[in-house]
């Protein structure tokens, strides 16, 4: 099969609107300057923050490995990060240096598994969880690899797990590259569409000065509160010592992983009912799911100690717990997926890489008689966080500290701050319609990350009006992530029923 058959797969510019012409972009390796590694990229290379992103793609049909290798050579490998290694230049700066890539060393089918093993239920999830504890990729070659699994059970006949070192880019950057490598199933020559930016309400001209002043005051106040909260977390404020909270060394602990699929339309019903966002609903169902999960864990513990324990006491224990998340956020001025055209134009890719800040987000784990109150509580917190510069501060202050002291101290502070909280949360939007790679339709996408000092990480990945809600856990602390996923999915259904009940009462 000649290379001309893969010409339609070459990386191209992404249209930032749902429809529009797509101009061609050709990545070449001629006269490529050595580009510096981003501050976050250097941080992720530290031993205590050695993080990997693992993106699992489920394919409708079996994967033809030779064809996929050729397709990846014409797409993924064309991006500079995927054919470069990290080295120091004469000034001692970490830079990306292009090299030749041996595709066979990066794309392979793992050996040692029988067909029955691969076809077993949840084999892929267990494989990804074990991959989280696998040895690091050698820095002598590009920091990525693809594991191909044919003959898997479920709705996908095959899976490809793309394992990428976090220094290459954040979730937004890597999702942009995935979008640039795929095409729509119904329109094979068109790139996928991406979620558009939410339109802001119009303000009358004579209200603009007053509105701007009020917005600035709110931004200033919320930023002061957010930074005070952030520094308090660094210095002394930590989450309750629950059965699920991590500890130093948890990043090296064996992992478990499970996911559940939820309907985006269900989330829209809930968000419209509270005039919120998908993120508000996500944090709300996380809070509701964690409340039920912790309630069960503490009830089991107390039942062993006292068979006559009053169940009302269990609720009071969970209600008084401090549970917070380290919520990753994109620090680009506009949503990252809207800047795909800039990222994928070729040449200097200054917008590519890690542009992550993080927020300390209290999770509403209290018991609410109205299920929607979980989302309302999350919305109240989220509105304050969005109207502040807390996330941008964590990124730029980290970059400044790294420029002054090097990556060791920022890595220690990031590790310490993360361990002061209970979980990490990440939300990356994906394609809005079915897509395919190399002519093979993708049926689901779910991400995970390894190496972060957190006992519980929750990932939300939307794709084709569905979303995968993924829980990766430290096995010794949370051995049953599937139960947590079920609780979160059940919480969403309870919220949807509450909305339907209110509408019925209103009529």
Report the distance separating Cα 224 and Cα 444, nearest Å.
41
Residue ranges in 320-421 assigned as alpha helix (H): 340-343, 372-386, 390-405, 408-420
* Rounded Cα gap, residues 300 and 309, in angstroms: 10
Distance separating alpha carbons of residues 403 and 420, to the nearest angstrom? 25
User: Are residues 325 and 421 in contact, defined by beta-carbon separation less than 8 angstroms?
Assistant: yes
Query: Which residue, chain included where needed, has tokens 């006992």?
Result: 455
Dihedral, 215, 217, 220, 224 alpha carbons, nearest 10: -130
**DSSP 8-class letter at 12:** B
Tell me if 164 sits within 8 A of 178, measured CB to CB: no
H and E: helices and strands count for the chain: 15, 16
Cβ proximity of 111 and 52 under 8 Å: no
Residue 167 burial (CB count, 10 A) = 24
Q: How far apart are CA 160 and CA 487, in angstroms?
A: 28
CA distance linking residue 435 with residue 498, whole number of Å: 34
Q: Are 143 and 51 in contact (CB under 8 A)?
A: no
| 3-state SS, residue 24 | strand
Distance, in Å, from the CA atom of 50 to the CA atom of 55, rounded to the nearest integer, reads 17
Q: What is the CA radius of gyration of the chain?
A: 23
Q: Which pairing describes strands 456-463 and 423-428: parallel, antiparallel, or unpaired?
A: parallel
Q: Which residue is catalytic, options 106, 166, 291, 444?
A: 166
Diameter over CA atoms, the chain: 75
- Active-site residue, 166 included: yes
CA 401/CA 394 separation, integer angstroms? 10
The residues, ordered by sequence, that sit 6+ positions from 489 with a Cβ below 8 Å of its Cβ are 260, 262, 285, 289, 469
Residues that are catalytic: 166
């Amino acid at each position: 099969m000649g290379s001309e058959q893969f010409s339609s797969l070459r990386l191209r510019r992404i249209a930032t609107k749902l429809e529009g012409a797509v101009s061609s972009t050709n990545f070449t390796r001629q006269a490529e300057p050595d580009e510096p590694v981003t501050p976050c990229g250097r941080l992720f290379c530290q031993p205590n923050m050695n993080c990997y992103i693992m993106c699992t793609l489920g394919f409708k049909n079996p994967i033809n490995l030779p064809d996929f290798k050729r397709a990846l050579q014409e797409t993924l490998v064309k991006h500079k990060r995927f054919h470069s290694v990290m080295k120091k230049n004469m000034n001692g700066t970490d830079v990306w240096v292009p090299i030749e890539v041996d595709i066979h060393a990066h794309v392979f089918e793992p050996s040692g598994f029988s067909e029955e093993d691969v076809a077993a239920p949840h084999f892929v999830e267990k494989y990804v969880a074990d991959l989280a504890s696998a040895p690091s990729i050698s820095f002598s070659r590009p920091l990525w690899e693809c594991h191909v699994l044919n003959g898997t059970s479920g709705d996908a006949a095959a899976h490809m797990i793309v394992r990428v070192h976090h220094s290459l880019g954040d979730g937004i950057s890597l999702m942009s590259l995935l979008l640039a490598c795929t095409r729509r199933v119904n329109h094979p020559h068109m790139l996928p569409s991406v979620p558009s930016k939410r339109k802001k309400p119009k303000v009358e001209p004579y209200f603009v000065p007053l509105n701007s002043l009020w917005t600035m005051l709110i931004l200033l106040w919320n930023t002061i509160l957010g930074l005070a909260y952030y520094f308090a977390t660094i210095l002394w404020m930590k989450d309750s010592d629950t059965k699920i909270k991590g500890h130093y060394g948890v990043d090296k602990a064996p992992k478990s992983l499970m996911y559940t699929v939820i309907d985006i339309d269900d989330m829209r019903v809930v968000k419209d009912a509270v005039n919120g966002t998908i993120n508000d609903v996500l944090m709300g169902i996380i809070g509701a799911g964690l409340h039920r999960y912790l309630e069960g864990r503490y009830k089991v513990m107390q039942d062993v100690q006292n068979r006559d324990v009053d169940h009302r006491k269990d609720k009071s224990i969970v209600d008084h717990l401090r549970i917070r998340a380290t919520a990753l956020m994109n620090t680009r001025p506009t949503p990252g997926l809207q800047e795909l055209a800039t990222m994928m134009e070729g040449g200097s890719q200054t917008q590519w890489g890690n542009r992550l800040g993080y927020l300390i987000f209290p999770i509403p784990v209290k018991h609410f008689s109205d299920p929607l109150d979980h989302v309302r509580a999350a919305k109240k917190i989220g509105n304050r966080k969005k109207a502040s510069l807390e996330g941008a501060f964590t990124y730029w202050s980290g970059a400044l500290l790294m420029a002054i002291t090097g990556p060791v101290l920022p890595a220690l502070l990031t590790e310490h701050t993360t361990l002061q909280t209970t979980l990490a949360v990440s939300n990356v939007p994906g394609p809005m319609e079915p897509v395919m790679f190399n002519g093979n339709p993708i049926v689901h996408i779910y991400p995970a990350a390894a190496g972060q000092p957190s006992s519980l990480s929750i990932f939300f990945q939307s794709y084709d009006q569905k979303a995968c809600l993924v829980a990766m856990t430290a096995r010794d602390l949370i051995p049953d992530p599937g139960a947590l996923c079920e609780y979160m999915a059940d919480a969403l259904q309870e919220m949807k029923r509450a909305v339907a009940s209110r509408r019925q009462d209103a009529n």
